[in-house]
Amino acid sequence: MKNRFLSMLIGAVLFVLSAAAENYPYRSDVLWVTVPDHADWLYKTGEKANIEVQFYKYGIPQDGVEVSYELGGDMMPSDAKGTVRLKNGKAVISMGTMKDPGFRDCRLTAKVGDKTYSHHIKVGFSPEKLQPYTQLPSDFNEFWNKTKVEAAQFPLTYTKEYVEKYSTDKIDCYLIRLQLNKQNQCIYGYLFYPKAEGKYPVVLCPPGAGIKTIKGPMRHKYYAEEGCIRFEIEIHGLNPELDEDTFGEISRAFSSRENGYLVNGLDSRENYYMKRVYLACVRSIDLLTSLPEWDGKNVIVQGGSQGGALALITAGLDKRVTACVANHPALSDMAGYKAGRAGGYPHLFKNTVDMDTPAKIKTLAYYDVVNFARQITVPVYMTWGFNDNTCPPTTSYIVYNVLNCPKEALITPVNEHWTSDDTEYGHLLWIKKHLK
């Protein structure tokens, strides 16, 4: 079983990197392989976990190399450490156990010559029992219903400009500037249509975190090629046609910890920056469902990281949504660190005290993914990995566990904060199976 799992693991990573026509490890002289004694990397609380560590240089097992390790909870400081010496390139490390549901992380280092190499692996202990620290405010739905009604008073207003460089013989692309309110705040997005006339499902794709252009809008062109209208948006009102240097300057000016958008206005649920962002996703649904080419039935939201969070949030906010796909969602149980375990990106409460105020904690409860997940009634498909230190597996499990709707999960333990092309395309295949 162990050898078969190892072969599958290496094969999966090879496939992910094959698009770049490179071998694994990618332009590195060394290769780490870590194999838990449970093939799915999952244990019951109280069970002991052991991992076999393998280390190769130039594909040659490194005999006699000393490997240092530190053990700790997911995103938590280490609570144990030690060393093992490789024999024929291999050694076994005991990761111990956990009495409460969660994840344990083994952080590895090895020095060969004058260079130090690092790796890590997380395994789970009864993560299906994880529950959020974040509580649901009693007036959560009242607040958001009122907020949506107020936002809907502004008429749907947008411009639409053909983008030749992203259009092909099969699809047409348009740059949209969507106005959000009378203050002339807006968002931009690329709207992709199938070229053939017809009625189609619509798919909203919110972005990952940061202040940046819409990266590689053609990477998901197969949505339009295979019969979906897809709207890829940004959230800051910045034209994605701006050059990279301009985006870099803006990002450096407004992305520091002190003035970043994810902490802007956090002392007030009315003034928090993300209020406008969440409403922008609803307004994007307004746009998509106004299109004469919409099939009148199917409204899907799909994204990863911050985009995965916004997909789930939109599905909880807007009853027009009929299905949701999210990978490793950010903004999930963000105050979880107060429970002594991992919290969600942007990790506001990790090793900090300035964020831990009653006002900020109160505001976050109205914006945390877990409280929108509690509202979702439509089918949800989630994917996440275990080795992710950006959106840790603890918080992905918490979101999945609170969903009270038809749901499916693709769990890919080896993944850090990435998804393969196959996984991405699998999202579309799942969507097509859930069309009305």
Active site residues: 305, 388, 417
**Rounded Cα–Cα distance for residues 213 and 164 (Å):** 18
Cβ atoms within 10 Å, residue 48: 10
**Rounded Cα–Cα distance for residues 433 and 436 (Å):** 9
**Rounded Cα–Cα distance for residues 25 and 10 (Å):** 10
- Report CA-CA distances (Å) from 253 to 185, 262, 274, 296, 348: 19, 14, 18, 42, 20
* C-alpha gyration radius of the chain: 23
Q: What phi, psi does 122 have (nearest 5°)? A: -115, 140
Burial class (CB in 10 A: 0-12, 13-18, 19+), 116: exposed
**Rounded Cα–Cα distance for residues 278 and 235 (Å):** 9
Q: Residues 89, 93, 94, CA angle at the centre, nearest 5°? A: 165
If DSSP codes are grouped into helix, strand and coil, which group holds residue 218?
helix
**H-only helix segments in 68-178:** 140-151
Cβ proximity of 372 and 316 under 8 Å: yes
3-state helix, strand, coil in the chain (%, to 5): 30, 30, 40
**Rounded Cα–Cα distance for residues 436 and 432 (Å):** 9
Q: Which of 161, 43, 33 is nearest to 98 (CA)?
A: 43
Q: Residues 46, 49, 54, CA angle at the centre, nearest 5°? A: 175
